[in-house]
């Protein structure tokens, strides 16, 4: 696990955008495409806005979602709403290259299986993402892998449904697919994350984030989140 510490949130976002762009160029050169899973959040939206200003082969990129709330289309709680606003409006990315989690389906279990098949069509079976972008909650969750939820124990599916967390049920990528990713990029900002980030650094398996493999991970953090780190 490698740490990169930056002065502020804006610097984290800009550096992360440059990192994603570089990873995309490597993947496209090696395999002809770049398949990445994107998480939501304030800092990720800044990263993606910075990415729109960066040199990327948009025609060879495929984005899937790390997780999504089960809410209607267009709802501001949907990560997809912000992904559309940023990526489709500001880049050459086509709508069919941004693969939405089907959280509006009446049969969410079947929809999760369907989404796993969508990813497999892009990234093989078993699916290997070129990049998994993750955030870290102050409670130690990542994606929608939350302490106490049965989704933490899913080992036979790449996509699964959670219980209710912060008033919403969610669809999420699971440990198996996240831990097969070629690279994991964490964005962690804010002083409220400092103690949790330190727990992630030492490999604390009692928090969900601690069960993500470390050898392929890089963490971009701001000074506020890094105050408890031992580097």
pTM of the predicted structure, to 2 decimals: 0.95
- Residue 222, domain member (yes or no): no
- Residue 166: pLDDT band by 50, 70, 90 thresholds? confident
- Residue 182, domain member (yes or no): yes
- Residue 220, domain member (yes or no): no
pLDDT at position 221: 98
pLDDT at position 74: 83
pLDDT average, residue stretch 151-171: 95
Provide CB contacts within 8 A for 28, sequence distance 6+.
Answer: 34, 57, 60
> Domain span at residue 50?
2-212
- Residue 171, domain member (yes or no): yes
Provide CB contacts within 8 A for 34, sequence distance 6+.
Answer: 23, 24, 27, 28, 57, 60, 61, 62, 130, 131
* Separation of alpha carbons 74 and 89, rounded Å: 15
* Separation of alpha carbons 137 and 193, rounded Å: 7
Q: Which of 133, 128, 80, 86 is nearest to 103 (CA)?
A: 80
- Backbone φ and ψ for 45, nearest 5 degrees, come out as -65, -40
Asked if residue 46 has pLDDT above 90, the reply is yes
Query: How many domains is the chain partitioned into structurally?
Result: 1
Q: What is the CATH number of the domain that holds 80?
A: 3.40.50.1360
pLDDT tens column, 47-106: 999 999 999 999 999 999 999 999 988 888 899 999 999 999 889 999 999 999 999 999
Asked if residue 167 has pLDDT above 90, the reply is no
């Amino acid at each position: 696990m490698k740490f990169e510490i930056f002065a502020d949130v804006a610097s984290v976002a800009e550096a992360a955008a440059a990192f994603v762009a570089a990873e995309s160029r490597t993947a496209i050169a090696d395999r002809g495409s770049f398949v990445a899973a994107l998480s939501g959040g304030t800092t990720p939206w800044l990263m993606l806005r910075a990415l729109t200003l960066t040199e990327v082969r948009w025609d060879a990129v495929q984005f899937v979602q790390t997780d999504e709330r089960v809410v209607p289309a267009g709802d501001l709680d949907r990560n997809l709403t912000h992904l559309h606003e940023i990526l489709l409006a500001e880049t050459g990315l086509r709508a069919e290259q941004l693969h939405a989690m089907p959280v509006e389906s009446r049969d969410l279990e079947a929809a999760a299986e369907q989404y796993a098949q969508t990813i497999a069509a892009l990234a093989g079976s078993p699916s290997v993402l070129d990049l998994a972008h993750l955030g870290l909650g102050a409670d130690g969750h990542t994606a929608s892998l939350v302490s106490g939820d049965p989704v933490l124990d899913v080992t036979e599916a790449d996509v699964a449904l959670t219980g209710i967390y912060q008033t919403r049920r969610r669809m999420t990528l699971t440990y198996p697919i996240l831990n097969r990713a070629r690279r994991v990029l964490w964005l962690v900002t804010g002083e409220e994350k400092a103690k949790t980030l330190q727990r992630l650094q030492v490999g604390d398996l009692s928090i969900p984030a601690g069960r993500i493999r470390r050898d392929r991970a890089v963490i971009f953090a701001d000074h506020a989140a890094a105050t408890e780190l031992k580097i």
